[in-house]
Structure 1
């Protein structure tokens, strides 16, 4: 039995094409899910800071659900459960628009929004209330004060945890393979099943995931250094 590693599998044009397409799909899924998570997470953090009891409870339920239910289960609910609640016409339209990709990025984005909302909420709570009061005294509305004064500072304070959760979001996109999204892990499994070069192809996939994760962390470290709040 030959136990030597043989990476010649990568010379196959079809396999290379699958890997490249898998990386592109993975990055697209990460980008769309991250945008959804940040926009929704910011909105949830602002709602929770309004001090409205019912709004705060609703956001709290949302956060607890998405932080305590496995992401894979949430992906299955979106892909297998949500379409059954829609009309046939809407189901047909969604199926024509890469439904697997659509439901995957929505599920991952909404799940990670719960984590990012808590990151931003912690950042907001660390800012003295006097800044909000001073902003209101200058004539800014509640939303203007948060958008122009409070939120930029909160993002800078929350950068370390936001970056950690960005890396977590990126890694969790691999779960989309469970519903047939042809991202990198899906492509890796398909290549392995056809070439039988298990170790080699998974070493390649691991290296790609590791490289991109390190790039995200390095970019985050650069942002932290550039936008750090200096002690006075």
Structure 2
């Protein structure tokens, strides 16, 4: 440890933040938003009285939650272009791109987990709220949009943010398709300059600090929402 080189961290910090962390945060934000929107739709489908919708949503959620994320990333990146070629009947595989593959994969995968969170949140809203909405002349879509879902989001916001922290950590798996996220950028510097200890310890420290501070904010938010309820 007496040969620990702090200069390599300082010299490569702009690259790590601009190329690596910027990508990681962008992917986390976009995938969390897309996963929450799709997860809410899946939750409404699972709670629907139509057996077909409920069965399809349940099958999708169970499938995604039963597969390793790294396998889903591999599957989408390598197989979907050929599936697109077969469907569109093109001469070459459809180009999806590494970023698009990662974004779609994380969105579809996280939607299964956000769906369960939203379903629990929707079920936590008293049924009297639905009856009151129907009494005001609102239809099912309006009751869900204006009455139930906003309350469910407030109830489940701490859990949603916790799942987003997990998503932030999982984005490091994009290294399997050679995307330069924060960990990938640190790994490139480590391999190039032969400073594995410095770069991997620094990457671990950054992930720890961001996740720990975010978890503290979630705890404070959870305490405030508990007081409101």
Give the TM-score normalised by structure 1. 0.89
Q: How does 1:114-193 map to 2 (within 5 A)?
A: 114-193=112-191
CA contact (8 A) 2:122 2:148 kept: yes
CA distance in 2, matches of 1:68, 1:85: 22
Cα drift, residue 90 of structure 1:
7.9
Q: How does 1:60-99 map to 2 (within 5 A)?
A: 60-87=58-85, 88=90, 91-92=94-95, 94=96, 99=97
Cα drift, residue 91 of structure 1:
2.3
Unpaired segments ≥5 residues, structure 1: none
Paired residues, what number?
Answer: 223
CA distance in 1, matches of 2:53, 2:156: 23
Q: How does 1:206-221 map to 2 (within 5 A)?
A: 206-221=204-219
Q: How does 1:3-82 map to 2 (within 5 A)?
A: 3-12=2-11, 15-20=12-17, 21-82=19-80
Return structure 1 stretches of 4+ with deviation > 6 angstroms. Answer: none
- Superposed CA offset, 1:70-91 (max 9, x none): 0000001110011112245782
CA contact (8 A) 1:36 1:109 kept: yes
- Superposed CA offset, 1:35-74 (max 9, x none): 1111101111111111221111111111111111000000
**Larger deviation, residues 158-167 vs 197-206:** 158-167
CA contact (8 A) 1:37 1:111 kept: yes
Secondary structure at the residue paired with 1:91?
coil
Unpaired segments ≥5 residues, structure 2: none
Cα drift, residue 212 of structure 1:
1.8
Cα drift, residue 130 of structure 1:
2.0
- Superposed CA offset, 1:135-187 (max 9, x none): 01111111111111111111122223212211111111000111011101111
CA contact (8 A) 2:9 2:198 kept: no
CA distance in 2, matches of 1:223, 1:82: 40
**Larger deviation, residues 3-12 vs 120-129:** 3-12
CA distance in 1, matches of 2:205, 2:10: 17
